[in-house]
Chain A
Amino acid sequence: MVLLYPSRWWVAALGAMLALAAGGAFADDDVRIRPLNHAAWQQECSACHVAYPPQLLPAASWRAIMNGLDRHFGTDAALDPQQRADILRFLEANAGRGRGSTGGKPLLRITETRWFIHEHAEELPANIWSRPSVKSPANCIACHTAADRGDYGERTLRVPK
């Protein structure tokens, strides 16, 4: 029966079974963040940090963020109105569906979402965020070395010293 399926599928299934057999530690590692393309989003949002994937916050969060760019986590990230609207449309169209709010207010930090906390809860050295090479949990690319291409997969993951 196995022979009816393409071999790659079979290898993936075997891998998944082995991972589960290893204690379920990898059960969440099949989370895929689909890489997206949008020129203005890529250019503007990646100027100071990785252009964070729209899927990681709900639309209400993106609206709140894009409405406060002149005071963006303590810095002035203002855009011209047309560009702001263009990028917000893209973020809303691809936003995540999680609740992403706390006490009725939309979450503004991906690092405070349950998804992020869960994904980064295991197997990380205690001082990881304070290492000079990492500096902040906002610095995805410090470990997710292909984050600038929207790739957060295991194969490009390297935790620096």
Chain B
Amino acid sequence: MRLTLTAALLAATVGAQAETPPDFEKLFATQAKQENPAFVGFSAEQGQRFYASTHGKDWSCASCHGRSPSAIGQHVATGKTLAPLAPAANPERFTRPDKVEKWFKRNCNEVLGRPCTAQEKGDVLAYLLTVR
């Protein structure tokens, strides 16, 4: 119990400090280790598949963010244009813990009907970081 609390506090502290995409990758890795002791690392390939696929509901990440995350996306319901998701194309992405948390919460709910695991978040981020 105490260990869990300490780990949560540590994660919160790291989260508060995350300011760059690699910071977030480290944060997700810390969380992934807690979720799964057998965690070995993130896979950009796995992230790419996750990004492009639907997960039992109507939409995928790509439905709004576009098949190419370095291009401008279009919200599938409202038609609003969305700034690119890949950090290489949009330096504002993965620089604000509050935004990252808010959007993963909303969009995972939208796409999967549940919160994403740290493994899933880290895989997607690993993929996004390979996109030029």
B78 contacts the other chain (Cβ, under 8 Å)? Answer: yes
> DSSP majority for the A interface?
loop
A3 contacts the other chain (Cβ, under 8 Å)? Answer: no
The interface bits of chain B over 69-80 (1 if a CB of A lies within 8 angstroms of the residue's CB, else 0) are 000001101111
Task: Return chain A residues, CB-CB under 8 Å to B77.
Answer: 48, 73-75, 136, 138
The interface bits of chain B over 106-118 (1 if a CB of A lies within 8 angstroms of the residue's CB, else 0) are 1101100000000
Give the total of A residues in contact with B, Cβ under 8 Å: 17
Task: Return chain B residues, CB-CB under 8 Å to A74.
Answer: 77
Q: Is the CB of A139 within 8 A of B80?
A: yes
CA distance A73 to B110 in the complex (A): 12
Task: Return chain B residues, CB-CB under 8 Å to A77.
Answer: 106
CA distance A147 to B113 in the complex (A): 32
Chain A minimum-CB-distance residue to B75: A48
Q: Is the CB of A49 within 8 A of B78?
A: yes
Task: Return chain B residues, CB-CB under 8 Å to A135.
Answer: 74, 78-79
CA distance A126 to B109 in the complex (A): 36
Q: Is the CB of B78 within 8 A of A139?
A: yes
Chain B minimum-CB-distance residue to A79: B102
Residues of chain B having any CB pair with chain A under 8 Å: 74-75, 77-80, 102, 105-107, 109-110
